[in-house]
A and B are shown apart, each in its own frame.
Chain A
Amino acid sequence: MSSPLLTRIAAEHAAALAAQPPAPASLAHRRKALQGLLERGLPTVRDENWRYANLRILEKANFTPGTAVGSADGIDLPAAIEGFTRFVFIDGQFAPQLSAPTGARGAATLTRLQGELPTDQQAFALLNEAFATDGADIQVTAGAATVDIEVLFYSAAPTAAYPRLNVRLGANARLRLIERHVGKVTTPQFINSVVRVELAAGAAFNHYRLQETGAATSWTDTLRATVARDASYHLHLLQVGALAARSTVDVELAGAAASTRIDTVALADGPQVHDTMIVVDHKATHTRTEENFRGIAGGRARIGFNGLIIVRDSAHHADSAQSLKGLIAGSEAEIDLRPQLEIHTDEVRCSHGATTGKLDDAMLFYLLSRGITPEVAQRLLKWAFITDVVAKIDVPALRTHVQRSLASHMLDAQSLQELLS
């Protein structure tokens, strides 16, 4: 497959390798990944699962990653979450001066991921593999205590970045991981991240993923998780930043009684486009999924959420529940929610609900009848719309941060202070 875009990506790739030659092994797999991408091609909006993504923005993207070693100068990192060991990447490069020491820390070992990250053949995962030079590898062996880690990817320069994370939990291991993507860059920038999660039997992983990149950023990410018997994967997705964001999440419930809960909040305003595609594949008996989505689109923003639940014939007694809700808060805003079920066995319990609407008139009138202005009332109701899903974040300091981040998009400073105090 060839296209002007792929040709340009190949040229940028060759130039990047020439400018910064990697080790021979790395060179081979990066070339192989590029080859895979060129053969496969990038998705287009004609692809049913990509029709709500803003892919046109890629035509203007620069794919070459920055080469500068992340510097701490002049960088105002967001406050750390107490109790979480922090590792920082600046413009895709590990920043040791801002991070805890790598290596073993109790049950967890964090090392730099500079080799191959085995992923599927998804186009954006291949693109990441072809260009990425750094990343984090987190391994947690069985341990009684929960390990708390924060990995912060910070964009300081308007270059492309390819964050990557490999997370593996041994049997019955427990990890809480905050994965934050923060950017202050206001000029166009391409960020394309990959996360791989593998949970062994009985492991429990709470994954808090915050996308708060810059206002002109083009963001894509590919997350693949495999969940073994009795293991649980709770993913919190917060989609706030970027001009165009597309998240692709695949969760495989591979072992009996494996479970996942995915809580997503997307706030888009002005010209933003947020598109999320989540596939949960139930492959074993008594597997469970709970999926909640709350999206608010203001201005002329577009939000797409496509949640596909597959229940294989091997997955009897599977249980899944989807609650998808969209709030249209702009005259030209659009929200498209698609709960989908693909069921290959009889003994299952699957429920789904998807509603998109405007602000509730009864709630609005109640607030007006108390003297609240229409403008403030609308902001309060937007806040009310997402609050149940945000409340599921069980790390109080992080929840407060997320609440403040979300509220800052819809409330004035004083209301925010009072509402959250």
Chain B
Amino acid sequence: MLIVENLHVCVGATAVLKGLTLTVPTGEVHAIMGPNGSGKSTLAYVLAGRPGYTVTAGTVTYDGQDLLALAPEERARSGVFLGFQYPVEIPGVNNVYLLKAALNAQRKQRGLQEVDAFEFLGVVREKMQLMQMPETFLSRGVNEGFSGGEKKRNEILQMLVLEPRLAILDETDSGLDIDALKVVATGVNSLRGAERSIVLVTHYQRLLDHIVPDKVHVLAGGRILRSGDHTLAHELERRGYDWVISEAA
């Protein structure tokens, strides 16, 4: 699904990713863990196409195509979804409008007709129930006045409605209390499937108690230093990151 090879990325004059290589096969959930400033969010943004991140070397192949050649909206339409660490507030544009516009953009790309309004609302309501969101969310401005936890749940709701082929969730667990974390994890788990890949960018192991990954990667200094199964997360929780960095040096 996703093959990242020798990726080098600069933000301004600063090199952040320095030869990152990562493969996420279809149907798998991978966690990217690492200390602050290691380049985790940069990786998420580069995959989604955020301006301001300059790829100086390397390739990213998504579903057999050159992901870096696509504009951000083209990536989204071909099934790439970024769950933001800090979801943006857009007052005046309500959630249901954004959900529908986003879904229709994707359907258009696939040569499908626009979604039937009635059917669409039915699907959205069902997903909202799963995310324990009240119906009033739909008519509110996108993330407007939402608490940190509500914003994160809204990201997952969008993901559930859009059913991406590749979901990249950037620190979706940060700022969540334990109940909200469980809700978010339920949402993510409901989307796991043979057709889909999920990349979880996270700081802590606690999310991985609820969403058990197929692989865990340690990102530090702009490179993947170590990869392992889900037990690696427990080891990191116990021992910190320093031993990985010193072993890799």
Chain A positions within 8 Å of B, measured between CB atoms, are 360-363, 365-374, 376-377, 380-381, 383-388, 415, 418-419
Contacts and interface: CB of A to CB of B under 8 A. Distances in A.
Interface stretch (B21-29, B97-105, B126-134, B177-185): B97-105
A371 B77 contact: yes
Contacts of A366: 84, 87-88, 90
Contact of A387 (B48, B91, B109): B91
B94 A367 contact: no
Contact of A374 (B73, B76, B98, B158): B73
B233 interface: no
B90 A369 contact: no
Given A361-B51, A367-B90, 15 more contacts: A360-B88, A362-B88, A369-B84, A370-B76, A370-B98, A370-B158, A371-B105, A372-B98, A372-B102, A373-B73, A376-B101, A380-B90, A383-B92, A418-B97, A419-B97
A370 B162 CA distance: 9
Contacts of B92: 383-388
Chain A at the B interface: mostly helix, strand, loop or mixed?
Answer: helix
A264 B106 CA distance: 38
Contacts of B51: 361, 365
Kindly list the 10 A-B residue pairs having the minimum CB-CB distance in the complex, ordered from nearest: A387-B92, A371-B105, A371-B76, A370-B102, A368-B72, A366-B88, A384-B92, A371-B77, A368-B73, A371-B102
Contacts of A368: 49, 71-73, 76
Contact of A381 (B49, B72, B76, B90): B90
Which among A371, A372, A380, A386 has the greatest number of chain B C-beta atoms within 10 A? A371
Contacts, number: 82
Interface string B200-241: 000000000000000000000000000000000000000000
A363 B88 contact: yes
14 contacts: A361-B51, A363-B90, A365-B72, A366-B88, A369-B50, A369-B73, A369-B76, A370-B105, A371-B73, A374-B73, A384-B90, A384-B91, A387-B92, A419-B94
A371 B90 contact: no
Contacts of A418: 97, 100-101
B73 A372 contact: yes
- Identify the interface centre among A360, A365, A415: most chain B CB within 10 Å of its CB: A365
Contact of A372 (B87, B91, B105, B162): B105
Contacts of B198: none
A368 B102 CA distance: 9
B93 interface: yes
B91 A388 contact: yes
Range class of the B interface residue count:
20 to 34
Nearest to A373: B73
Interface in B62-111: 71-73, 75-77, 81-82, 84, 87-88, 90-94, 97-98, 100-102, 105-106, 109
A94 B158 CA distance: 54
Nearest to B107: A371
A325 to B, nearest CB: 13
Nearest to A386: B92
B93 A380 contact: yes
Nearest to A370: B102
A265 to B, nearest CB: 12
Interface string B19-53: 00000000000000000000000000000111110
Contact of A371 (B50, B93, B106): B106
Contacts of A367: 90, 98
A180 B238 CA distance: 70
A238 to B, nearest CB: 16
A373 B105 CA distance: 8
Contacts of A371: 73, 76-77, 101-102, 105-106, 109, 162
B93 A369 contact: no
Q: Which of B87, B91, B105 has the most CB of A within 10 A?
A: B91
B87 A369 contact: no
A363 B142 CA distance: 10
